[in-house]
């Protein structure tokens, strides 16, 4: 830990390189210690059915409590853990927290779908699906209530291993979502090669809906392609304006997520929201 220092700068935390210039944030002992000290906090962002306007579930998004108690966003530590090949400890910890929360909320009368993010590095472990199944079983969570979010980088996996992984995940009943679709230069061929339960359209595309006619055309037809290809449902992330929402509804996008509806919030706040919604209906 003494190699790592957080510096507060313009309201943001930055990792500071010490001594030999190496970042040593990512050792397995360090991440396990941080987990033991409850340094990671899981927030939830509601996901909405654009047809009914109701909450259908939430995405778990991890934050890290820094020295001063401030929460550090994942983009400041996830890439380092990936590079140091220790990200699986965090991904599985978040997944376990999600299962724990599911059980807790179910005991209070509300069952909701929850999704969490997985690095390709984590999914490359040969026994990963068995581990996920074991954790879900520990808390009595049906696999159907759990979504595994992966990004296109999964495509870099060895094809035979990747096909086996996708097959095992769907055999167990987990939902698999392709995250950040349309960011950078997405390749449509991944949709023909792999079968996803849902495609999550990246917020950069959603953002451009307001200003860019080309983006509107791409979004509209990409959602159509997903549907026709294999009945895959669409979710749009980063919805911030009512105008974006209007267009997405017009394109028959099934689900949405974004600041327009709600920002990521604590587990307690999300559960209160679920309870409130249940009373309202
Ligand atoms: P992601 O999975 O694509 O998550 C969406 C990100 O967009 C989240 O940022 C969320 O807070 C943000 N967001 C949601 N709605 C809006 C909106 O309307 N406008 C804007 N501008 N942003 C919005 P966050 O929480 O900082 O997470 C960043 C990334 O960190 C995630 O991107 C995901 O790739 C990664 N991440 C988060 N938790 C985990 C985890 O447990 N494991 C791994 N491997 N990665 C994680
Ligand atoms: Mg995600
Ligand atoms: Mg995303
Ligand atoms: Mg994203």
pLDDT for position 187: 77
| 19 Cα–ligand 1 center, Å | 31
Q: Which residue has the higher pLDDT, 198 or 29?
A: 198
Please state the atom number of ligand 1 nearest to the C-alpha of residue 81. Answer: 44
Mean pLDDT of the residues in the chain: 89
Work out the pLDDT band at 26, boundaries 50, 70, 90. Answer: low
Q: Mark 29-47 as b/e (b = at least 16 C-beta within 10 Å).
A: ebbeebbeeeebbbbbbbb
| 151 Cα–ligand 4 center, Å | 9
CA nearest ligand 1 atom 21, residue: 238
Work out the pLDDT band at 14, boundaries 50, 70, 90. Answer: very low
Q: What is the dihedral of CA 141, 254, 149, 207, to 10 degrees?
A: -140
Q: Is the CB of 62 under 6 A from ligand 1?
A: yes
Q: Where is average pLDDT lowest: 124-138, 139-153, 172-186, 252-266?
A: 172-186
Span 62-80, average pLDDT:
91
Residue to mutate (ligand 1; options 76, 237, 245, 266; most atoms within 8 A of CB): 237
198-211 confidence digits (pLDDT tens):
999 999 999 999 88
pLDDT at 6 over 90: no
CA nearest ligand 1 atom 17, residue: 238
| 184 Cα–ligand 3 center, Å | 12
What is the Cα–Cα distance from 145 to 147, expressed in whole angstroms? 7
Q: Is the CB of 152 under 6 A from ligand 1?
A: no
Span 22-28, average pLDDT:
58
- Radius of gyration, alpha carbons of the chain: 19
Span 51-56, average pLDDT:
97
CA 123 to centroid of chain Cα atoms: 14
What is the Cα–Cα distance from 190 to 153, expressed in whole angstroms? 10
Reported ipTM exceeds the 0.95 cut:
yes
- In the numeric block, which tokens belong to residue 78? 């996830």
100-139 confidence digits (pLDDT tens):
999 999 999 999 999 999 999 999 999 999 999 999 999 9
| 61 Cα–ligand 1 center, Å | 6
What is the Cα–Cα distance from 266 to 281, expressed in whole angstroms? 23
CA nearest ligand 1 atom 3, residue: 180
pLDDT for position 165: 97
CA nearest ligand 1 atom 45, residue: 117
pLDDT at 20 over 60: no
* CA-angle at 228, arms to 165 and 172, nearest 5°: 25
Provide the whole-model pTM.
0.91
* CA-angle at 189, arms to 188 and 195, nearest 5°: 100
């Amino acid at each position: 830990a003494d190699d790592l220092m957080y510096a507060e700068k313009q309201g943001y935390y930055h990792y500071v390189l010490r001594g030999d210039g190496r970042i040593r944030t990512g050792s397995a002992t360090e991440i396990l210690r941080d987990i033991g000290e409850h340094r990671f906090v899981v927030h939830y962002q509601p996901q909405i059915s654009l047809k009914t306007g109701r909450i259908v579930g939430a995405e778990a998004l991890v934050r890290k409590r820094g020295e001063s108690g401030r929460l550090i966003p994942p983009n400041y530590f996830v890439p380092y853990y990936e590079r140091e090949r220790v990200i699986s400890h965090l991904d599985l910890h978040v997944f376990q927290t999600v299962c724990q929360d599911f059980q807790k909320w179910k005991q209070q009368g509300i069952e909701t779908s929850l999704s969490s993010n997985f690095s390709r590095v984590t999914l490359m472990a040969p026994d990963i699906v068995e581990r996920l199944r074991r954790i879900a079983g520990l808390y009595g969570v049906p696999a159907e209530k759990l979504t595994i979010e992966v990004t296109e980088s999964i495509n870099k996996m060895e094809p035979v291993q990747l096909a086996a992984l996708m097959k095992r995940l769907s055999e167990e009943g987990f939902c698999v979502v392709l995250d950040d679709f349309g960011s950078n230069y997405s390749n449509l061929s991944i949709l023909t090669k792999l079968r996803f339960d849902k495609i999550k359209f990246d917020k950069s595309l959603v953002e451009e809906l307001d200003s860019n006619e080309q983006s509107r055309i791409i979004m509209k037809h990409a959602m159509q392609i997903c549907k026709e290809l294999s009945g895959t449902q669409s979710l749009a992330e980063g919805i911030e304006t009512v105008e974006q929402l209007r267009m997405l509804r017009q394109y028959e996008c099934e689900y949405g997520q974004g600041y327009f509806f709600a920002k990521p919030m604590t587990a307690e706040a999300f559960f209160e929201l679920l309870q409130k919604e249940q009373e309202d209906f």
